[in-house]
Chains A and B, each alone.
Chain A
């Protein structure tokens, strides 16, 4: 069984980028671009040579969301 951990500080990410999209290097979690939309950060990431970035819609906090779907 392999250990796995997302080594990204979501709290710090929210502090710096809440309300924006970010593209991260998928191996290092370094922020390579930020912007107002997913497409914008994807385009910016491609410009710096990251062809398959990890993108995230950064929110101020997660407690306001209840991702529960009933049938």
Chain B
């Protein structure tokens, strides 16, 4: 039987670099969760960013390779966004576990080298938000994830 999904969390503080545009900005607060990636017999934990701006759940190749994913021969697609108008992504099926509630689900994700500059897994609409309801209170640095 699957665990119930209903938890709330503070945003997580990460470091930022002040710029001319935002000279006072030394930190950011982001909605981050701990997940486990499983593919065949390999598995490990990683941090995932709840990214409502992403249509897909995207895993950098730097995370896919140690899982033993043969992603280069998977069905491909192109997408725009991460600094390039034509990134290539490869569809792979993985099992994800949402650690805060020990909830596992099967997801088709996109593996892409274009996501490698970003340090975390991007949890997007397909693969994450199509399984869970999430609400954000950025003003209060707080988010809520549940599934009924």
The residues of A with any CB-CB pair to B shorter than 8 Å are 1-6, 8-11, 14-15, 24, 26, 37-39, 42, 52-71
Do B124 and A69 touch (CB < 8 A)?
yes
Chain A residue with the shortest CB-CB distance to B46: A55
CA–CA, A42 and B33, complex, Å: 20
CA–CA, A5 and B51, complex, Å: 18
Chain B residue with the shortest CB-CB distance to A24: B45
What is the size category of the interface that chain B forms with chain A?
A: 35 or more
Give residues of chain B (1-58) contacting chain A, Cβ–Cβ below 8 Å: 6-10, 12-17, 19, 22, 25, 27-28, 30, 32-34, 36, 43-47, 49, 51, 53-56, 58
CA–CA, A68 and B33, complex, Å: 18
CA–CA, A54 and B66, complex, Å: 13
Q: A62-B28, A63-B25 are in contact. Are A10 and B49 (CB under 8 A)?
A: no
Instruction: Among A5, A39, A54, point to the contact of B45 (Cβ < 8 A).
Output: A54
Q: Mark B53-91, 1 if CB is under 8 A from A, else 0.
A: 111101000110110000000000001111000000000
Do A55 and B15 touch (CB < 8 A)?
no
Tell me whether B95 is interfacial, beta carbon within 8 Å.
no
Instruction: Among A10, A37, A42, A70, point to the contact of B80 (Cβ < 8 A).
Output: A70
Q: Which residues does chain A contribute within 8 Å of B100, judged by CB atoms?
A: 2, 4
Do A56 and B47 touch (CB < 8 A)?
yes
Q: Which residues does chain B contribute within 8 Å of A4, judged by CB atoms?
A: 7-9, 33, 100
Do B34 and A54 touch (CB < 8 A)?
yes
CA–CA, A71 and B54, complex, Å: 8
Q: Which residues does chain B contribute within 8 Å of A66, judged by CB atoms?
A: 82
